Amino acid sequence: MLVLPEPIVVVNRTGTLSDTKAFGWQFITQHQILPTAQYPGVPVTTFMDRDGPVQPVGWRQAVSQARASGSPVPSLMPDGMYGMRGDACLAEESS
């Protein structure tokens, strides 16, 4: 896991803002529909900062409710997972 010294504010595909504070990754074997179709892969998970600069009203309410119920939200929350092939299959096509 790579934890950044401060969150990066990003604009999502929907146009909303979020903040990314950390990245985690692991090396796996990805399987396609056919049992012999396998290739190395790397899923990357982004984590947002619970107390970061992007604090929509709904998020603040969820964090408050979690604290009040005795189940506080951790400081890093998974925000999304993106997978990529790890076998350099697109290396020649990449710019």
- If you average pLDDT over residues 70-91, what whole number do you get? 82
Please answer whether residues 4 and 65 qualify as being in contact, where contact means their C-beta atoms are separated by less than 8 angstroms.
Answer: no
Q: Report yes or no on 28 lying in a domain.
A: yes
- If you average pLDDT over residues 50-79, what whole number do you get? 93
Q: Report yes or no on 76 lying in a domain.
A: yes
Q: What is the pLDDT of residue 53?
A: 94
Q: Report yes or no on 91 lying in a domain.
A: no
Q: Report yes or no on 80 lying in a domain.
A: yes
The model's confidence at residue 60, banded by pLDDT at 50, 70 and 90, is very high
Q: Report yes or no on 92 lying in a domain.
A: no
* pLDDT for 95 beyond 90: no
Residues 43 and 85: their CA atoms lie apart, in Å, by 8
Residues 88 and 72: their CA atoms lie apart, in Å, by 41
How many domains does the chain divide into?
Answer: 1
Residues 59 and 24: their CA atoms lie apart, in Å, by 22
More confident call, 30 vs 17:
17
Domain enclosing residue 25, as ranges: 2-85
Q: Report yes or no on 58 lying in a domain.
A: yes
Q: What is the pLDDT of residue 38?
A: 81
